[in-house]
Amino acid sequence: MGAIAPASLPRAAARGLVTAVFALLACLVTAQPAAADQTRSAQWQLNALDAKDAWKVSTGSGVIIAVLDSGVDATHPDLAGQVLPGLDLVDGGDGRVDPVGHGTTVAGLIAGRADDNAGVAGIAPGAKILPVRVLDKLNKYDDPAVIATGIRWAVDHGATVLNLSLGGALRSDEIAEALRYAADNDVVVVACTGNIATDPSIHEVWYPAREPGVVAVAGLSGGTPPSAKPTASPNPSKAGGNGGGGLWAGSLTGPETVLTAPADNLTGARPGGGYWQVQGTSFAAPLVAATASLIRAKYPRMSAANVINRLIGTAKDLGAQGRDDRYGFGEVDPLAALREPVAEVAANPLTVAAPKTESGKPARPSAAAQKTEEGGAAPQPVSETAGLAGARQSPDAEPVGSSVTVGLVATLLILILGAAGVLARHRTRRDDRF
């Protein structure tokens, strides 16, 4: 078990404290005295994502982002006035208490206040957080129905962007139906791809990030710990966009990956008014969710499908040209997403085959043809075929005939192996650890 976190400090002292955290199943918290502005200066992702320039265009004002997580400490100075009454599906309440800290960190990365030069600032400081607690005190969930209920509740209570910094190996029909409900109600859903170290037996992108239509976010490296001296990237123009470090070594990724964002050496808000250093795809996803809120605030009539299309169409290409299995479409670029022309689409490009250029990215229109303020049709998600552990049904099934017996035997074997997998992984549905 990690060291016990120091007691909460008043705001002036808390903003001079940077704590380092990393563990799989427990938090390791180390106090690091710092100058009053060290917390803000340690937020390398703000520079990497050109946040200050993006704020000149949009701050996310008027947009509600639901954070389905461990709750959010609404009393943290950096989140004062930023957190709406939400829902606690674990212990009851309005979700504005966080016994773990994970949700508070996520919320700060999204909408931490930027009205001074101290503490944590979010990418969308004008947005509001709707906390929906779905993770228990061990930072996990066992019943997918809880996640599904949280998604539906958030949609019904005004959220137009959902952040899901959680997941696991198993697909859930209940969550898939809730995600379809979100899409039908024109809501953007962002989820993390997952961490290798959380469960080494999982080698694919976590669910629900791999559900078609969800913006699955992998992590980039490139930040410098507050106590370390900066070092030059061997190839900053190719390795990781403005971050400069390439794919974070702990990030799960795969063909379902849509975007990447900074994931390591991030300084986050901690319950009680303090700060700590975190890493994980859980903390990359909120940077993309925040960017989606910037777009929704700038273009309030734009559909969720076109918000997603704008996110992927303006991303900084990394790795192989076009979309690839490591970086997806590339690193999220808030400023470009707000300014660059992108052709409209009629449906979510992550669920349908959309017209693309030779680079693999969505086609961009001429300036005269651009219609950025007109909303397109609501996205229509396509869920995977129901199956054990997310298995897909092959579209090339053999016709009924002599192969029936073999098919029945194979099906029975799959069911047995799948049931064993369910039992073995039943309690692995969790978010990534600090």
Catalytic residue list contains 203: no
Q: What is the CA radius of gyration of the chain?
A: 21
User: Alpha helix locations (H) across 143-172?
Assistant: 144-156
Catalytic residue list contains 98: no
* CA–CA dist 417, 178 (Å, integer): 27
What's the Cα-to-Cα distance from 357 to each of 331, 354, 362, rounded to whole Å?
18, 10, 6
Detail the DSSP E strand segments found in 344-403: none
**Residue that has been written with the tokens 């606690």 in this structure:** 88
The DSSP symbol for 244 reads -
Torsion on CA atoms 14, 282, 27, 133, rounded to nearest 10: 80
Residue of 73, 76, 78, 102 marked catalytic: 102
Secondary structure (3-state) at 356 = strand
- Number of Cβ within 10 Å of residue 15's Cβ equals 26
Residue of 69, 98, 186, 264 marked catalytic: 69
* CA–CA dist 127, 283 (Å, integer): 17
| Spacing of C-alpha 42 from chain mean position | 21
Q: Which two tokens stand for residue 322?
A: 């076009």
The DSSP symbol for 383 reads P
* CA–CA dist 162, 288 (Å, integer): 11
- Number of Cβ within 10 Å of residue 152's Cβ equals 16
Cβ neighbours for 164, distance < 8 A, ≥ 6 positions apart:
68, 147, 189, 190, 191, 192, 208, 209, 214, 285
Residue from 89, 285, 129, 306 nearest 205 by CA: 285
* CA–CA dist 39, 114 (Å, integer): 12
Catalytic residue list contains 157: no
Residue of 251, 282, 293, 303 marked catalytic: 282
Residue from 81, 14, 134, 54 nearest 335 by CA: 54
Q: Which residues pair with 111 in a beta bridge?
A: none
* CA–CA dist 326, 240 (Å, integer): 12
Residues forming the active site: 69, 102, 282
